[in-house]
Amino acid sequence: MFTGLITDVGEVAARDGGRFQIRAHYPAAEIAVGASIACNGVCLTATSIEPAGDGSLFMVDVSNETLSKTTLGTWEVGTPVNLERSLTAGSELGGHVVTGHVDGKARITDIRPDGECMRFLFDAPDNLGMYIAPKGSVALDGTSLTVNEVAGHTFGVNLIPHSLEVTTWGRRAVGDVVNLEVDLFARYIARLLEYRR
């Protein structure tokens, strides 16, 4: 379980098919084998860890299903990655409940200034539009964001300057594709309503 509050930006250090090595600023001594780490919003298991300067290198194995349903299939050496370690008992829940189970991919269709912030517009897959509501939450590349507006399967969010600096969002461009996880509670409510019908 995660909050969608990014705690590090790492990068892909090596790739061999579905096996990735990620460079992070997290001290190696603080990561256990088997730990869950959200990588651009995808919950992955650290299978090995080694020190790298003040930080660490950790390995993850990614299934073909995950490679096909997320942006991880496009990762190359040097790709920057939003990272978040899993919640521990007593952790502050500052974003929203994020599972790390990506629902699909969204494409950036517009980026424009909005005061001190940047407004991003996205096209979501048709089947996910019903789960996205104004003032609701979404996780995009693992980042907890509030939805500003929705029109069909198009929606917009604002990113504040801090978020643009401490995540990969400051490097994004129109046409980029990101991982989308809809709000967990919206998904369950929709399923309950479907079942009742």
Domains and CATH numbers, the chain: 8-85 (2.40.30.20), 104-196 (2.40.30.20)
Alpha-helical (H) ranges within 41-159 are 64-69
pLDDT of 28 > 90? The answer is yes
For residue 1, what is the DSSP state?
-
164 sits in which H/E element: helix 161-166
Q: What percent of the chain has pLDDT over 90?
A: 86
Mean pLDDT of 96-122: 96
Tokens standing for residue 132? 């996205």
CA 60/CA 19 separation, integer angstroms: 6
pLDDT of 197 > 90? The answer is no
Mean pLDDT of 136-148: 97
Confidence at 190, pLDDT banded by 50, 70, 90: confident
CA 193/CA 94 separation, integer angstroms: 29
pLDDT of residue 92: 74
pLDDT of 88 > 90? The answer is no
CA 145/CA 44 separation, integer angstroms: 21
CA 157/CA 138 separation, integer angstroms: 9
37-68 per-position pLDDT tens digit: 999 999 999 999 999 999 999 999 999 999 99
> In which residue are the tokens 């594709």 written?
177
As a whole number, the mean pLDDT across the chain is 94
Confidence at 173, pLDDT banded by 50, 70, 90: very high
pLDDT of 184 > 90? The answer is no
Q: What percent of the chain has pLDDT over 70?
A: 99
pLDDT of 186 > 80? The answer is no
